[in-house]
Amino acid sequence: MNAPVDPTLLQRKDALQGLGESRLRKEDARFIQGKGNYVDDIKLPGMLHMDIVRSPFAHARIKSIDKSAALAVPGVIAVLTADDLKPLKLHWMPTLAGDVAAVLADEKVHFQMQEVCVVIAEDRYAAADGVEAVQVEYEELPVVMDPYEALKPDAPVLREDLAGKTTGAHGAREHHNHIFTWDAGDAAATEAAFAKAPVVVKEHIFYPRVHPCPLETCGCVASFDPVRGELVTYITSQAPHVVRTVVSLLSGIPESKVRIVSPDIGGGFGNKVGIYPGYVCAIVASIVLGKPVKWIEDRIENISSTAFARDYHMDGEIAATADGKITGLRVHVVADHGAFDACADPTKFPAGLFHICSGSYDIPAAYAQVKGVYTNKAPGGVSYRCSFRVTEAVYLVERMVDVLAQKLGMDKAEIRAKNFIQKEQFPYTSAFGFEYDSGDYQTALDKVLAAVDYKALRAEQAARRADPHATHLMGIGLVTFTEVVGAGPSKMCDILGVGMFDSCEIRVHPTGSAIARMGTITQGQGHQTTYAQIIATELGIPSEVIQVEEGDTSTAPYGLGTYGSRSTPVAGAAIALAARKIHAKARKIAAHLLEVGENDLDWEIDRFNVKGDPARHKTMKDVCWAAYNNVPAGLEMGLEAVHYYDPPNFTFPFGVYLCVVDIARETGEVKVRRFYALDDCGTRINPMIIEGQIHGGLTEGFAVAMGQQMPFDAQGNLLGNTLMDYFLPTFVETPHWETDHTVTPSPHHPLGAKGVAESPHVGSIPTFTNAVVDAFAHLGVTEMTMPHSAYRVWQQLVKSGVAL
């Protein structure tokens, strides 16, 4: 029998609202009362407004720009072109991927909606009037929209500025529109595995270009004080400290005089990682004019010109035994990077962490090669709610495993189980060299199959297939994914040479409350709530009195920001370790106050007890007060700590998702009947917030799989760049989500936590596609390109001869 639990202990634990509690969110009070502070809410005295003249053509030479009519518009103060930025050497800027990108089009435009010049005016209406009045004369050039076409010998030269450059940031350039070729794994061993494999399957899988499309567009308010020589910029950034470094390098203003503030951010999803021409122009305009300048994108500008995601053309191959054991995986990718290589990836990884594409499976030999190509599309290539290119990798492997199962006539759950990395194999080193920290895939799979009664679903599907009068096809999509997140160990990961650590500074006040500042920045993830919970448990201070601040580079310690599910794996660890430094000092003070040795104390929730005599104790509140007036000899006053955490490894969250769809044979409409998502993110800090993140990620995955695409015509016109055309699911289309979890802590993370918010996006997209394709599997269909809109699915129904 368990010993009875002391109810006062439980009360004291509850009072902390620490790790594991579904604590309600601290940030909500301001948002539900309209008191959020987003960039466009910021208004500074004398502030001017900037708007951008953009190219209507995807590829054209600029013959002339006539500003005169714009300058005559009432309220217009200035018009800046590339020629105006040239003396400052700011008409081009370096990208995160080692390329350069035009800030304002220099002699020619490379994609539709590229920034050509900016108009600064007294208010936003006058700025828009000024944009209308600028006269730009263009000479159209041949447009290249297809990356395969771009690599043909006689393809038009897109980047004249790179003429003669045979080496790029990532090695040799083979062609004038070629950016890099990157590979991972062992080509020879993989070739050998394929040579002797009794079964080989191949599939061409295209992952279309999509856009993260947060509801708040990008923007900034730049304010340069010419007297003090200081620049303050409020900006929609997921990485404000990196922005400060880049702005300092570009402008020559010392980093100590540049203050970047990410205030409340209305969703990021990867879109707000990059540094966009609009930011640079607003900063330049503020420096030149000596006044604050605000720039806020509209929706068309956001979708057309800021960072897209994916656009990966993947050729996957699997080698296997006749009974379905995978012996080799090979992937060749052509990656459409658009006009400038502005992918946001760790410097050494031009294809991100795509080499996680061996997934949850024990594959002895693997090889991946990615070729980056220029086209006349907008630059970007960000991780839309995923760690770097992990969505593409998971999509590839989870689709390919289904293709193999279909070829062998095996069940899709059985083939996964047969190839899983087994629980005992962790830590497991993949053929690509990743060391997976922990996992228990079989338990997760079993739990999901039992929860949905998988056997009954397959029986129902068989009956449906046998019934010629059935009005609907039925598909079951299953995915057992593993992600790599928490970038990352600085020996592998850096951005512009800055290691991808993250940081935390905690100050505990005399009366027992605390403030913590972090290098990350929340965009809805609830850091102000969850970070405080970590500290509460570590230090025995109630969450309620712990303030969490992020996003202001003048107060927060340097950090690499929030994207790639890195906040909990990296910053979360920094918080725990900073708190443990404080805890260690608190123990010394408590020992001093109680006149015992440090080792004579037990820590219990919120206090230090003398071993064997808990009536003698000091609470953390007592210690906080003493830290400012009565510390042992030789110890500094105060109670604060900073920790910069350089993770020893990535973390590897995983999950098992199952989706059942019914497809109307008459219309092609796909109805999600059921979606069951089991996630394992290791230790769970706030289950309520985790569940909310999963709902949101699943919905974004649903959007990508079922409707999002950026269609272009041959002239390079983007045919869907408003919310009329670009699919954001409403309440009505969005399915009901069922969530579940297992807990397999990360052995190397101080809390055992792995990160979660991107798993549902990464995992759900192949689940939807697998479900839709599975509905056609008995008809020999192995691949259908997203998005699975009714029209496209209906075309497949017709092609397969099953449309009604």
Q: How far is the CB of 266 from another protein (least distance, A)?
A: 3
- What is residue 256's DSSP assignment? G
Dmax (CA) of the chain: 87
Three-state SS at 191: helix
Q: For residue 132, state whether it binds another protein (rule: CB under 8 A).
A: no
Active-site residue 461, yes or no? no
Q: How far is the CB of 724 from another protein (least distance, A)?
A: 6
211-247 burial string, b = 16+ CB within 10 Å, else e? Answer: bbbbebbbbbbbbbeeeeebbbbbbbbbbbbbbbbbb
Per-residue mark of binding to another protein, 77-106 (x: CB under 8 A): ------------------------------
Question: Judging by DSSP bridges, how do beta strands 502-508 and 640-645 pair with one another?
Answer: antiparallel
- Cα dihedral 160→161→165→171 (10° resolution): -110
Q: CB-wise, 60 or 239, nearer to another protein? A: 239
Q: For residue 719, state whether it binds another protein (rule: CB under 8 A).
A: no
- The residue within the footprint of another protein, chosen from 31, 160, 198, 496 (CB under 8 A), is 31
- Of the candidates 463, 574, 439, the residue with the CA atom closest to the CA atom of residue 518: 574
Number of residues near another protein (by CB under 8 A): 58
Alpha-carbon distance of 441 to 443, in angstroms, equals: 6
- The residue within the footprint of another protein, chosen from 432, 625, 737, 794 (CB under 8 A), is 737
Q: In what order do the strands lie in the sheet with 135-140?
A: 108-109, 60-66, 135-140
- List of residues 6+ apart from 114 with CB closer than 8 A: 54, 55, 102, 105, 305, 339, 378
Q: CB-wise, 8 or 730, nearer to another protein? A: 730
Per-residue mark of binding to another protein, 674-713 (x: CB under 8 A): --------------xx-xxx-xxxxxx-------------
Q: CB-wise, 633 or 732, nearer to another protein? A: 732
Q: How many CB atoms lie within 10 A of CB 714?
A: 10
Catalytic residue among 238, 369, 533, 709: 238
Q: CB-wise, 213 or 365, nearer to another protein? A: 213
Q: For residue 32, state whether it binds another protein (rule: CB under 8 A).
A: yes
Catalytic residue among 54, 259, 330, 385: 385
Q: How far is the CB of 771 from another protein (least distance, A)?
A: 18
Stretch that binds another protein, among 77-85, 140-148, 191-199, 519-527 (CB under 8 A): 519-527
Q: CB-wise, 28 or 66, nearer to another protein? A: 28
Active-site residue 385, yes or no? yes
- Residue ranges in 554-638 assigned as alpha helix (H): 573-594, 620-626
Stretch that binds another protein, among 320-328, 422-430, 539-547, 724-732 (CB under 8 A): 724-732
Peptide bond into 787 cis (omega under 30): yes
- Of the candidates 429, 275, 433, the residue with the CA atom closest to the CA atom of residue 354: 433
Q: Helices (H) and strands (E) in the chain — how many of each?
A: 20, 34
Q: How far is the CB of 299 from another protein (least distance, A)?
A: 4
Alpha-carbon distance of 644 to 126, in angstroms, equals: 46
Q: For residue 188, state whether it binds another protein (rule: CB under 8 A).
A: no
Q: How far is the CB of 268 from another protein (least distance, A)?
A: 8
Active-site residue 218, yes or no? no
- Of the candidates 544, 621, 753, 565, the residue with the CA atom closest to the CA atom of residue 23: 544
Q: For residue 28, state whether it binds another protein (rule: CB under 8 A).
A: yes
Alpha-carbon distance of 218 to 243, in angstroms, equals: 14
- The residue within the footprint of another protein, chosen from 10, 125, 459, 799 (CB under 8 A), is 125
Catalytic residue among 213, 281, 386, 504: 386
- The residue within the footprint of another protein, chosen from 130, 524, 540, 750 (CB under 8 A), is 524
Stretch that binds another protein, among 147-155, 214-222, 339-347, 633-641 (CB under 8 A): 214-222
Q: For residue 33, state whether it binds another protein (rule: CB under 8 A).
A: yes
Q: How far is the CB of 416 from another protein (least distance, A)?
A: 26
Three-state SS at 792: helix
Question: What is the per-residue DSSP string for 640-663?
Answer: EEEEEE--SS-B--EEEEEEEEEE
Q: For residue 736, state whether it binds another protein (rule: CB under 8 A).
A: yes
Q: For residue 3, state whether it binds another protein (rule: CB under 8 A).
A: no
Residues 245-304 binding another protein (CB under 8 A) are 264-267, 269, 296, 298-300
What's the Cα-to-Cα distance from 801 to each of 472, 757, 798, rounded to whole Å? 14, 40, 5
3-state helix, strand, coil in the chain (%, to 5): 30, 25, 40
Which phi and psi (to 5°) does residue 209 adopt?
-70, 125
Question: Judging by DSSP bridges, how do beta strands 60-66 and 48-54 pair with one another?
Answer: unpaired
- Amino acid 521 reads I
Q: For residue 17, state whether it binds another protein (rule: CB under 8 A).
A: no
- The residue within the footprint of another protein, chosen from 523, 553, 567, 649 (CB under 8 A), is 523
Stretch that binds another protein, among 140-148, 375-383, 508-516, 523-531 (CB under 8 A): 523-531
Three-state SS at 451: helix
Active-site residue 173, yes or no? no
Q: How far is the CB of 39 from another protein (least distance, A)?
A: 11
Residues near another protein (CB under 8 A):
24-25, 27-36, 38, 40-41, 43, 123-125, 213-217, 264-267, 269, 296, 298-300, 523-526, 688-689, 691-693, 695-700, 722-724, 728, 730-732, 734, 736-737
As annotated, the active-site residues are: 238, 385-386, 758
